[in-house]
Amino acid sequence: MSIEDTLKHQIILAAQKRYGQTLDAVEFQTTRKDFVGDLTVVIFPLLRVIKGNPVEIGTAIGDFLTQNVPEIKGFNVVKGFLNLSFEDAYFINTFDAVADYSHYGWAEPNGETVMVEYSSPNTNKPLHLGHIRNNLLGFSVSEILKASGKTVYKTQIINDRGIHICKSMWAWQHFGNGQTPLSTGLKGDKLVGNYYVIFDQKYKEQVRELVAQGHSEEDAAKQAPSLQQAQELLRLWEAGDAEVVALWSEMNQWVYDGFETTYRKLGVDFDQNYYESNTYLLGKEHIQEGLEKGVFYQKEDGSVWCDLTQDGLDHKLVLRSDGTSVYMTQDIGTAIQRSIDYPKVTGMTYTVGNEQDYHFKVLFLILGKLGYPWAKHLYHLSYGMVDLPSGKMKSREGTVVDADDLIHEMQETAREIAQGLGKIDDLAPEEKTKLFEQIGLGALKYYILKVDPKKRILFDPEESVDFQGNTGPFIQYTYARIQSIGRKAQGLVLPDYDQTLDLHDKERSVLKLLKGFPEKIQEAALHYSPALIANYTYELVKEFNSFYQNVPILTAEIGPETTFRVALSQAVADVIKTSCSLLGMEVPERM
């Protein structure tokens, strides 16, 4: 039985004995830093049952708990908050009860299976900074959901068809001179992205020429030969033209290979890839089923709609008058197909920017109206944009921040800062290279994930690699510092400690944070928020460093407290490593 369960039982007993009342629930919260105590009982909700002054009621319950719960050594009441202080023996027992902190915090499988979709790029350009936030969020949420007890399948849908890839194909046909990734030494996604930029340049030139000849801007935008020829490529692809399909397949494969290289650098992976070229026709049969059920209605022109006005939205097109799909049609079909492919999946999470908030509201509503029970367990992991100090990114103009370039820049920044600190001179060259990769990627991941997903980010690469403050390198450095303590402790004969040990306030603070880690994982899973894990880790690291600076760990005189402090330090390191793994970060043994 947990201490909270014990206290709840005793508080209910106190209410019966002292007030003759029966309580249904008791609310606990972590004691605020400006109060003295380890756990707080919120008295205000009890006033619905127990009438009286909250301070007097809190004092009476505190007296009862002190007399009947051995773990309680004292209490104080501040307004409607009963702050309980625990005996040192309770903290030591709680610490010792966890045999292996390297697996601490992970819950037993709970039987739930979910799918998380993230990345979902277009095959006309490399991954960029916006994709990095998407990938880091999706991967981290997947890992957190796993740690909370769920089985998780990670997936992406690659947008490999449509006018965007045909624009790159047109530019390659006209200006490529047979270039390939092998002949140019470029990653395939970069090569295809370059031709997408070339298309945009040529298209704008043609529009300007047509306007100069007297065409309106609207007509010129439609009549530009490059656009019309790209549209013809799309028509030929949909008709199965062998030559066009072959070029499409070849250029897309260049991009797939390029994406895979970036994913490996970024440390993310997928269990299943879906491709829009296979899914874009999905959904039509479900539209017909929806018509028969009365979920949809058909207009005179043949188009099919869903009336969502009763849900506070509007009328949504799900099939055009010519019978062709819209994105909503495809997304309906893809969601249903995934439920068929993975029948154990009870919920899906879509990691997509907040500009698509409305789209997913509509999608989830429609799937519910179609009668799929898992529709109520669909979640849109909506996130804000990532900006740089230099401003917004534009793919067509070639001004995006390329993901590979940013990863390289982060590693170089880590190299410059780490070498400037002069703490790695004794490492071998290959160890340094690995360390710079860990620091650079750790800085990038932590800086992005420590922010609530819904908030917009202004990303500053140099600030993110700072070795002080709420940064990835600060957390990694603390882990490496603890590993150094462990190496120094090896070979020492350390005596046992027991419950009679007197804890320092700093030790108690660290122990309280460690105790809260499993609950923090569950909270982060509930809210789909890696930021909760990131900021918990920062608080733990801050608290440990305060302990390290104020309490001697390894001293000339070895005693039971030495053994406890070494064990406590290693437990902190294990939790740091676990929490960083949930963020997709690696931690170096030396730094």
Range of the domain at 453: 403-582
Q: Is the dihedral of CA 519, 524, 526, 527 positive or negative?
A: positive
Phi, psi (deg, nearest 5) at residue 75? -155, 165
> Within this chain, do residues 319 and 343 fall inside the same structural domain, yes or no?
no
The CATH number of residue 443's host domain is 1.10.730.10
> Within this chain, do residues 348 and 238 fall inside the same structural domain, yes or no?
yes
> What does the CA dihedral 515, 518, 519, 520 come to, rounded to 10 degrees?
100
Domain assignment present for 103: no
> Within this chain, do residues 261 and 318 fall inside the same structural domain, yes or no?
no
Q: What is the largest CA-CA distance in the chain?
A: 94
What SS3 state is found at 124?
coil
> Within this chain, do residues 439 and 407 fall inside the same structural domain, yes or no?
yes
CA 352 to chain centre: 12
CB-based contact 7:26 (threshold 8 Å): yes
The position carrying tokens 């998380």 is: 116
Domain assignment present for 106: no
Domain assignment present for 392: no
> Within this chain, do residues 306 and 331 fall inside the same structural domain, yes or no?
no
Tell me the pLDDT of the chain (591 aa) as tens digits: 789 999 999 999 999 999 999 999 999 999 998 899 999 999 999 999 999 999 999 999 999 999 999 999 999 999 999 999 999 999 999 999 998 999 999 999 999 999 999 999 999 999 999 999 999 999 999 999 999 999 999 999 999 999 999 999 999 999 999 999 999 999 999 999 999 999 999 999 999 999 999 999 999 999 999 999 999 999 999 999 999 999 999 999 999 999 999 999 999 999 999 999 999 989 999 999 999 999 999 999 999 999 999 999 999 999 999 998 999 999 999 999 999 999 999 999 999 999 999 999 999 999 999 999 999 999 999 999 988 776 544 444 445 688 999 999 999 989 888 887 766 778 888 999 999 999 999 999 999 999 999 999 988 888 888 888 999 999 999 999 999 999 999 988 889 999 899 999 999 999 999 999 999 999 999 999 999 999 999 999 999 999 999 999 998 689 999 999 999 999 999 999 999 999 999 999 988
CB-based contact 568:459 (threshold 8 Å): no
Domain assignment present for 47: yes
Domain assignment present for 212: yes
**Beta strands at 386-387 and 151-158: parallel, antiparallel or unpaired:** unpaired
The model carries a pTM of: 0.93
Overall domain count for the chain: 4
CB-based contact 180:111 (threshold 8 Å): no
> Within this chain, do residues 130 and 141 fall inside the same structural domain, yes or no?
yes
**Cβ neighbours, 10 Å, residue 238:** 14
Domain assignment present for 99: no
The position carrying tokens 């992005």 is: 448
> Within this chain, do residues 422 and 565 fall inside the same structural domain, yes or no?
yes
> Within this chain, do residues 412 and 519 fall inside the same structural domain, yes or no?
yes
The CATH number of residue 221's host domain is 3.40.50.620
> Within this chain, do residues 450 and 552 fall inside the same structural domain, yes or no?
yes
Q: What is the pLDDT of residues 414-425, one digit of tens each?
A: 988 888 776 677
Domain assignment present for 422: yes
CA 156 to chain centre: 15
How many helices (H) and strands (E) the chain has is answered by 22, 14
Domain assignment present for 588: no
Closest to 268 (Cα-Cα) out of 449, 35, 398: 449
What tokens were used for 500?
């009679």
What tokens were used for 156?
């992406």
> Within this chain, do residues 548 and 574 fall inside the same structural domain, yes or no?
yes
How far, in Å, are 65, 197, 217, 290, 327 from residue 332 at the CA level? 56, 32, 36, 11, 9
Beta strands in 451-559 (DSSP E): 457-458
> Within this chain, do residues 71 and 170 fall inside the same structural domain, yes or no?
no
**Angle made by CA atoms 132, 136, 138, in degrees to the nearest 5:** 115
Alpha-carbon distance of 476 to 467, in angstroms, equals: 9
Residue 279's contacts (CB-CB under 8 Å, 6 or more residues apart) are 157, 330, 333, 334, 337
What SS3 state is found at 575?
helix
Alpha-carbon distance of 374 to 46, in angstroms, equals: 37
Alpha-carbon distance of 350 to 120, in angstroms, equals: 10
The CATH number of residue 50's host domain is 3.30.1360.70
> Within this chain, do residues 444 and 575 fall inside the same structural domain, yes or no?
yes
How far, in Å, are 56, 95, 117, 178, 325 from residue 44 at the CA level? 12, 32, 42, 75, 55
Q: How far apart are the first and last CA of the chain?
A: 41
CB-based contact 63:21 (threshold 8 Å): no
